[in-house]
Structure 1
């Protein structure tokens, strides 16, 4: 069988679902990738229980080793470069919230809107959801809350790495938050706009060799069902609040493959493409995510790999140094992440624009320069 090489809006690539029929059959199955998420949910429950009742020593705790060492390494070094946001497809955190919304695991609540019977639940497209199904505020439809959440987690990273109890509490809090948001708001609102990990996953997934895209734009242009958005008997409308047929970046694609299942024309697929095919950033929120990740890579290298034991002790609020030293450390970290690193890059963009005599808005120059931090930041974190 010859390789099916096609062009999407951002790159050329190999159509993996056309090349490997078994992979296509698997991607159309309702249990895929749900089965992986359910297995990880069970494993996560065991690890969380160990965090609450097991050893208090971090390097002997399953949850610390599994989450902050094994999972983090695989995520940064393997999944993001070669699988885009495949982790989001099997992430156990939103599983309970999905069930609260859908009240089913594998089947699809598909209805013709013209013959809809009304409550219970709310019909969105062709799919019926439960809960309040509110729209997320437009003013918060960006990465700023994710940036803040990730920086907050990073501030307490030493505590999470050394305390199984703190790690267990953090994981439970994430699941509860995702479930509450799923009950109140539409689909994967938590994953799209609130998950602390989601922002950097979206940023670095642009570097990945995998991408979910439409095969033929002309098919999408003439499609009347828009089932990738509205849902169908085969799958739910995009849980990530995206229009899958128009995807040209990996940032907000959670690799749930619902669009592959729901598309009535079989026009959605997974492409294998060259690495670092995307770097385009669209706003200050994305640029600040890139700045934030570089700043934290610098800070972590100093705290964890440097010879200054007092600094590492200050980063651990549970140590004898106490809250005062931790407050100084946290303040320095936030200034580095929110002022020093962003200020340096924005100043460089301003200076470069002036020296070049370019008629370019500072925002455009800053976003263009920050895009270089996508591959640089990912490789820096892999090295760390």
Structure 2
């Protein structure tokens, strides 16, 4: 008996690849500060749980395949506040942003079709690209210029007859990039000139810092038939476990195809949708302290990294991640060494090797992705462990 080649070719997520080493460290009594995963420690708003507790229907039934009407109405209002008008038939609820992306790729791509995506990019996208045999064509970006996009000419030359879409996250995971208007204008021009879809992952929209602002691609009126927005409550309301996302698009043919897929999996979980609707009703002032907290953590991270010898990092502009170049040849080996051999007062850190966020062979080998979704005290301790770990590791390696 043999499993499908489709599933056998799937790679382990780089975010979770080192879990066995972490489990061993825990068995040895270590405390681990998890800088490897974007799991917010901000409390999920109480309104979510209250809505579920107040759900009194005697039978927990299937919900509408498109999503609860009350939830889609709240999502509609949310976008209205952003000056974006979507009908209820232009909003479909999914089981997290991951299902939204999977359904989108299934609807747009045939085997061998190509997708353009700025590199480095969220590594878990690869599971879907591999399953569907979609060829990833990376748009190379560099940490020294904050991972901003190259020129239009450089991007345009990557387009072929098999290219179907340009995809990106804004704000970006793993880089913390927030794309400027001229960059989005350029992508809009390329998509229009080459008849390409734009897949815009906007799940971190609220989390931008300083003067940076995340512009939704939904604001491009001349691109309405080409734009697909991927959204989720996971990071916005610190509700990752609720698994409620959405696909938003004005392309009727596309949305009809997505609806068929929604019907095939019957419905998203009813209780999670009830709770999600309550989250969308929360006053927008909720984001003020949350954003301020993430910005404080961002500042701590960047300040600490800036003082470490040989470490280079672009200041994150949004989300809560940073791609960091370390003074080591192999970041994955260093990450494993931290878990297996290094601790300060029985505490260590878990990082994500960044090589898995690149498509281009050899890139990211000396980099890690750090998530700063940790409380201030834990983040400061983590930075000290990283600093001292690098000093000791380099001493060992140089010997």
TM-score of the two chains, using structure 1 as the length reference: 0.23
Structure with the higher fraction of residues in helix conformation: 1
TM-score of the two chains, using structure 2 as the length reference: 0.23
Structure with the higher fraction of residues in strand conformation: 2
The higher-RCO structure (CA 8 Å, 6+ apart) is 2
